[in-house]
Amino acid sequence: MKQSYEHKVQYYETDQMKVVHHSNYIRWFEECRIDLMEKGGLGYERMEEEGIICPVVSVSCQYVAMTRFGEVVEVIPKVKKFNGIRLVITYEVRDKETKELRCTGESSHCFLNAEGHPVNLKRSSPEFYNMFLKLSE
Amino acid sequence: MKQSYEHKVQYYETDQMKVVHHSNYIRWFEECRIDLMEKGGLGYERMEEEGIICPVVSVSCQYVAMTRFGEVVEVIPKVKKFNGIRLVITYEVRDKETKELRCTGESSHCFLNAEGHPVNLKRSSPEFYNMFLKLSE
Amino acid sequence: MKQSYEHKVQYYETDQMKVVHHSNYIRWFEECRIDLMEKGGLGYERMEEEGIICPVVSVSCQYVAMTRFGEVVEVIPKVKKFNGIRLVITYEVRDKETKELRCTGESSHCFLNAEGHPVNLKRSSPEFYNMFLKLSE
Amino acid sequence: MKQSYEHKVQYYETDQMKVVHHSNYIRWFEECRIDLMEKGGLGYERMEEEGIICPVVSVSCQYVAMTRFGEVVEVIPKVKKFNGIRLVITYEVRDKETKELRCTGESSHCFLNAEGHPVNLKRSSPEFYNMFLKLSE
């Protein structure tokens, strides 16, 4: 099933080029990622409650077309890789109405316990492991 | 002694009106406040290390003139009130070169311990109490 | 009719106090204000297309309780004053579920033409004038 | 000569992981890039005054270690490629004191005229062309 997350462009997200500042797309990826987990059944706040954080190890974004105030975009995530240790998600940002592509991107993540050590979700949190596995199908 | 904090306006702080978005001045007040404590000799990170946080209870800003990308502003803080329980700071933001007034503002703060209860700095942290007392002279 | 605008708290809106950074409420007021205009029938982007901007002249916020990641808040706007020259809106931010009050605030605005001169909406843009009049009832 | 740009980590840049939110590094790259142009003798605001904008075509960041409130980082830019049409800059973010690497990144850019068409700086703005050429040595 193709998930999709909607974001309405805010005025404070624009810059003096009269388009959305490029750093905000990175934040939309995060919004989308967190929404994906919620739709998967386990919100990110629950992961932190279990003492596991999921920091961003790398992020990239290719800007294709500019986005303007007042527009609504949809961010389409895809779990590209998940093995319990590493998670890679790709994103497409499209205009909600025209479906015009605005940018593509990718973020990769690891999982750390409260001491900051990498963990394998398979052992540390089977519930989240299974959720990501299902999301990656 | 009149303290002053310098901030260089960043591109990502502008919006499509081609001026600094109004919410950023609130952030500059924070930058200035933290700088004030550092110049007073005790950084805010040390307060948090002692288990005390200093949340914002209220904030206000009157916008007088617009600020543009590439400009440098100075933020001039003044401790208006401090009694160990409540801290009130006022701010003036001026263009560094022309000294033109851009906005005035005010923030008020309390002090909370790790349990989230209000504390009197005079007892909880005499060192910080004395610093703010000195800053309010 | 009581309007209300919903905002889902984002991870990037938190700070190391583990609550929403106070500057973001000022941005939520803007989101709510723009939503109010849309519900009134005339989006803010149309005002800018007509060559009129509506800058913030002052803003204030009283923080009552902290807001956390994963929560949804509703922002309830009220047009307190409108006379074509000046617009004042008050805001209440409440937890969507518990209705607990998180903060109250106020923003005041003027209207400027492309040359940066104050205008009276009654003459410059009767359509927007009537909308704000209706919203202030 | 190795340029370097200093940034003091702000409280509002942290998130509830108690470290700098990953999106802010992308903003620091921008701060550094603009600083680089200034040190090169021609500020970015002058480019926009000449009717040329320099949007970000792609950006990437590899996060190596976390950065905390109160720290000062230096961002070291390097013009990796410049031919008048395309500009690629790489960045290293390091702790100012320990020189510990925090992240590496890269941004690529094109140049657009007022109509939004790609231009070659060599013809459109020889002054900026020569500056970037010198910076890329």
Supply φ then ψ for residue C77, to 5 degrees. Answer: -95, 155
Contact B70, B13 (CB under 8 A): no
Query: What span, in angstroms and rounded, lies between the C-alpha atoms of C18 and A48?
Result: 12
Mutate to test the interface with C, among B26, B44, B66 (most CBs of C within 10 A): B26
Give the per-residue pLDDT at B40.
95
Q: Chains contacting A with at least 3 CB pairs below 8 Å? A: B, C, D
Q: Which residue of A has its CA nearest to B21?
A: A12
Q: What is the DSSP letter of C2?
A: -
Q: What does the pLDDT read at residue C118?
A: 97
Mean pLDDT, residues B4-22: 97
Quote the pLDDT of residue C91: 98
| Euclidean distance between the first and the last CA atom of chain C, given in angstroms as a whole number | 9
Chain B neighbors of D69, CB-CB under 8 A? 44-45
Q: How far is CA C17 from each of CA A65, A120, B45, B55, C67, rounded to the nearest angstrom?
A: 37, 28, 12, 9, 11
DSSP state at residue C35: H
- Is the minimum CB–CB distance between C27 and chain B shorter than 8 Å? yes
Q: Which residues of C touch A11 (CB under 8 A)?
A: 30, 34, 44
**Quick one: pLDDT band at residue B3, thresholds 50, 70, 90?**
confident
Average pLDDT over residues C113-130: 96
SS3 B117: coil
Coil, strand or helix at D25: helix
Which amino acid makes up residue A61? Answer: C
Give the number of B-C residue pairs with CB atoms closer than 8 Å.
51
Q: Do D26 and A27 make contact, defined as CB atoms within 8 angstroms?
A: no
Which stretch of DSSP H or E encloses residue B33? Answer: helix B23-40
Closest CA to A34 of A3, A73, A67: A3
Residue from D12, D13, D17, D22 to probe the interface with A (highest A Cβ count within 10 Å): D22
A114 touches chain D (CB under 8 A): no
Please give the Cα distance from B28 to B96 (Å, whole number).
Answer: 14
Q: Is the pLDDT of residue C84 over 90?
A: yes
Tokens linked to B9? 């306006």
Output the CA–CA distances (angstroms, integers) from residue D7 to A25, B30, D17, in the order listed: 22, 16, 20
Q: How many CB pairs under 8 A join A and B?
A: 27
Q: What pLDDT is recorded for position A3? A: 83
Is B137 a residue whose pLDDT tops 90? no
> What is the residue-level pLDDT of chain A in tens, covering all 137 positions?
578 999 999 999 999 999 999 999 999 999 999 999 999 999 999 999 999 999 999 999 999 999 999 999 999 999 999 999 999 999 999 999 999 999 999 999 999 999 999 999 999 999 999 999 999 98
Nearest to A10 among C12, C31, C70 (CB): C31
Look at residues B1, B8, B134, B122 and name the one whose alpha carbon lies nearest to residue B74: B8
Rounded percentage of chain C residues whose pLDDT exceeds 90: 97
CA distances from A117 to A1, A17, A51 (A): 33, 42, 11
Which of chain D's residues have a Cβ under 8 Å away from the Cβ of C21? 11-12
H or E segment to which residue B25 belongs: helix B23-40
| Chain A touched by B10 (CB under 8 Å) | no
The pLDDT assigned to A10 comes to 98
Mean pLDDT, chain C, rounded, equals: 96
For residue D26, which of D74, D60, D67, D2 has the smallest C-alpha distance?
A: D60
Report yes or no: C23 at the D interface, CB cutoff 8 Å: yes
Average pLDDT, chain B: 96
Q: Give the model confidence (pLDDT) of C10-66 as tens digits.
A: 999 999 999 999 999 999 999 999 999 999 999 999 999 999 999 999 999 999 999
| pLDDT > 70 in chain B, percent | 99
φ, ψ of residue C65 in degrees (nearest 5): -145, 155
The pLDDT of residue D122 is 97
- Judged by CB atoms closer than 8 Å, whether chains meet at B55 and C61 is answered as no
CB-closest option in C17, C55, C58 to B62: C58
Query: Which of A8, A11, A30, A47 to mutate to test binding with chain C, by most C CBs within 10 Å of its CB?
Result: A11
Interchain proximity A22–D22, CB inside 8 Å = no
Distance from CA of B103 to the nearest CA of C (A): 9
Show the CA angle centred on residue B74, arms to residues B71 and B78, nearest 5°. 160
Facing C14 at nearest CB: one of D16, D23, D69: D16
How far apart CA B127 and CA D7 sit, in angstroms, is: 28
Q: What is the pLDDT of residues A11-43, one digit of tens each?
A: 999 999 999 999 999 999 999 999 999 999 999
pLDDT of residue C19: 97
Q: What is the pLDDT of residue D3?
A: 83
B63 has a chain A CB within 8 A of its CB: no
Chain C touched by B58 (CB under 8 Å):
yes
Place of tokens 């142009």: D37
* pLDDT(B70) > 80: yes
pLDDT digits (tens), chain D, 137 positions? 578 999 999 999 999 999 999 999 999 999 999 999 999 999 999 999 999 999 999 999 999 999 999 999 999 999 999 999 999 999 999 999 999 999 999 999 999 999 999 999 999 999 999 999 999 98
Token code pair at residue C21: 């950074």
